[in-house]
Chain A
C-alpha cells in the first residue's frame, strides 16, 4: 500500500470528527469574531459593523485594567497555593500509613463538589453573623469581634482564593500522586544508601519525575483560574465595590446584563487571546521540562 493512500485513508477516517469540530468549535468562534465587530444586542437588533470600536472602548475604559489586574492576582495566588498544597498533600499521601486509602478518597471530595455548592458552602462559612470561621476564630481568641470577610475589599479576595484552593488543590495532588507512583523504588533506595538528605532526595530524585505532570496541572489550573466566574459570582458578585470583579464577570455583565452582545464578544475574545498566549508559553515550557526530565 502506498504512503499517500494511507494518508488519504487517515484523513477520510478523521473527516467525520473534523466536520463535527468545525461545526461545534470553528463556527461559533468565527461567529464570535464577527459579532465582536458589531454593535449587536443580545435580543432584538442584529447590529451593524463598527470596526474596532468595541475593542478600543473596552480596553481604554477604566474597568478593564483594574479587572485584568484582579484576575491576574487571583490566578497567580490561587494557582501557586494550589500547586504547593497539592504537591505537599501528594508527598504525604505517598507515604505508607494506615488509612491511606481512605484519606486519598476523602481528599478528592472537594474537587468532586460542583463549584456552586462549594461557593455556597464557603459563603456560609464566611457568614459575618453566624459563620463557622468567625465562631472558630473568636473562640480561639484570634478575633475579638466577628468580621465581614466577604464585605471588605481587603479580605474578600483572600477569602475567595482560599475557597478556590480548597476545591482545586486535590486535582494537583491527584496528578502529583500518580506521578510519584512512577518513581522507581530502587532509585530511592539508592539515594538512601548514598546518604542523601530529604530535601536532596526530593530535589534530585523525585522532582524530575514530577516536573512533567506538574506542568500539565499548572497549565490546566492557570487557564481555569484565569477564566474564573462561578465561585466569585455566587460569593460576592464582584463586590465589594468591584474589588473581586474578574474578566469573566465583566464579560457576563457586558453581554448578558447590559445585553451588548457585540462588545461582550470582543471582551470574551480578549480573554481568549490572553489564555491562548498563556497556554502557548506554558506549552513550550512543558516541552522543555519534559525534554530535560527524559
Chain B
C-alpha cells in the first residue's frame, strides 16, 4: 500500500517537476502526537515549522489523536505495516513497546550533555531495563489545584497538606453551603482514573507489584481506593467525577464549581486565562497532599516521551526531529504549557516568570513522582483497576473485593 502510494507520488512529482522549482532530495517523516493537554496542536505545528526552517530537506507530516487513541493507533499502524516514524508515548508503555519491538533502543544516541542536562526523574519516562527508548518531552505530574477565593470564604487559611485535611476542608466548604461537592477528580473508566489512584497509592505508601505479583489489593493500594470511596460516599467529591476525564475536571474548576481539583500542569495557565476561565487569578497550586506519618506529598509520573519506531525507514531524520523538539531552547519557549525536562531551565527567569507558584509545586511534585508499574502487561492491569475503581465507587463491591478481582484479572 505504502509502496504503491510512494510510487504514485513519485510519478506525480516527476510529471509536475518541469513546472515547479527544482526539488531537493526531500525526506518525509510521519509523526503521531496527542490532540489535547500540555502542548496544543497549534504549538506542535509551530515547533515543527521551526524545525523545518532549519532542516528544509525534512518534511514532517503531523497527525493528532486524543490520548485515549494514542497507544492503540501506534500499535495498529505498526501492525498494519504503515508505521509512524516518530511517536509520542506515555510513561507506562516503554515496557510493552520494548517487549514487542515497537520502539528503537536509542541509548547510543543519547549524548553525555543530554544525560547531564536532563532532570534525572525525567529519564524514567523513556527507560525500560537499562535501555532508553526515546527522549522525555512532556514532564508532568498531577498537582492539587485549589480555588483561593472559595478557601478564603470558608475561612481556610492554607491549602491542605494531607489527604485527610483535604477531605476535612472540603467538608467545611460543603457544610457552609459554598459548594455542594467541592472536589473534582477524573475517575471515568479510563487511564485518567489510574493516574488519580496512583497519586493516592504513592501517598499511602502502597505498591502496585511485589516480586512481579499484584500487591495493590492490600496496604496502601487498598487505603487509596478506600479514600476515594469515602470522599465519594460522604458527598465531598463531585459524584460526576466517575464520568470525568481531565478536560471535564478543568471545565468544572474553571467554572468555579470545584474548590479542589487534581490535574496536570497544563491546567495552571489555562485556568488563569480570563478568556477561558471564570476563576482566573484565583487559582492556587500545590503538590498533591501526603498522608500523616507516611508521606509529605504525592505525585504520579505522567510524563511522556518521543521515540522512533522500529518500522521507520528514516530513523536518523526522525531522531534529528526528536532532538529538536526536546531541546532546551524549544522547551523553554513553551514552558507555560509544559515544564522543561532540562534542570537548568528552572533557573531561567524567562521560564519561571509568572508561574513561580507552579514551579515551587513542581520542585516537590516532580521529585516525588511515583511510577505506574513497568510491565508489558500494563494495559491489562490498568483495565482491571479501572473496573475495580468504578465498581467500588458505584457500591457494586467493597474496595477489598474489587481490588482482589482486579488482581486476579491483571494477567500477572
Which A residues contact B (CB, under 8 angstroms)?
A: 41-45, 128-130, 148, 150-153, 236-242, 252-253, 256-259, 261
Contact = CB atoms under 8 A, between A and B. Distances in A.
Contact of B100 (A43, A153, A237, A238): A43
Contacts of A41: 100
Contacts of B390: 239-242
B205 interface: no
Interface in B235-251: 239-240, 242-243, 248, 251
Given A129-B251, A241-B396, A44 B243 contact: no
B208 to A, nearest CB: 18
Nearest to B388: A241
A45 B99 CA distance: 10
Interface in B49-93: 68, 71-72, 75-76, 78-79
Contacts of B380: 258
A148 B239 CA distance: 8
A43 B239 contact: no
Nearest to A240: B390
Interface in B166-220: 188-190
A237 B102 contact: no
A129 B243 contact: no
Given A148-B240, A237-B190, 13 more contacts: A43-B102, A128-B243, A129-B257, A130-B251, A151-B243, A152-B394, A237-B68, A237-B188, A238-B189, A241-B387, A241-B390, A256-B75, A256-B76
Interface string B253-273: 001010000000000000000
A255 to B, nearest CB: 9
A43 B101 contact: yes
Contacts of A45: 100
A58 B411 CA distance: 14
11 contacts: A44-B100, A44-B101, A45-B100, A128-B240, A129-B251, A130-B255, A148-B239, A153-B396, A239-B386, A239-B390, A256-B75
Contacts, number: 85
A151 B240 contact: yes
A253 to B, nearest CB: 7
A128 B245 CA distance: 13
B30 interface: no
Contact of A241 (B76, B78, B394): B394
A238 B391 CA distance: 13
A264 to B, nearest CB: 11
Contacts of A42: 75-76, 78-79, 100
Interface string B362-403: 000000000000000001100100110011001010000000
A129 B253 CA distance: 11
B225 to A, nearest CB: 13
Contacts of A130: 251, 255
B229 interface: no
Contacts of B391: 241
Chain B interface size, as a band, is 20 to 34
Nearest to B239: A148
Contact of B243 (A240, A252, A256, A257): A240
A239 B189 contact: yes
A128 B181 CA distance: 13
A40 B371 CA distance: 29
Contacts of B387: 241-242
B75 A239 contact: no
B252 A256 contact: no
A148 B242 contact: yes
A257 B380 CA distance: 8
A259 B68 CA distance: 15
Given A44-B100, A240-B390, A241-B387, A129 B240 contact: yes
A258 B239 contact: no
Contacts of A44: 99-102
Contacts of B96: 259
Nearest to B193: A239
A135 B325 CA distance: 45
Nearest to B242: A151
B175 to A, nearest CB: 18
A153 to B, nearest CB: 7
Contact of A257 (B72, B99, B101, B255): B72
B383 A241 contact: no
Nearest to A148: B240
Contact of B189 (A129, A240, A256, A259): A240
B219 to A, nearest CB: 24
A148 B243 contact: yes
Nearest to B389: A241
A252 B75 CA distance: 12
A272 B239 CA distance: 39
Contacts of A258: 379-380, 383, 411
**Listed residue (B78, B102, B190, B394) with the most chain A CB atoms within 10 angstroms of its CB:** B394
A91 to B, nearest CB: 38
B213 to A, nearest CB: 19
Contacts of B79: 42-43, 261
A241 B406 CA distance: 12
A233 B20 CA distance: 45
Contacts of A261: 79
Given A128-B243, A237-B68, A257 B383 contact: yes
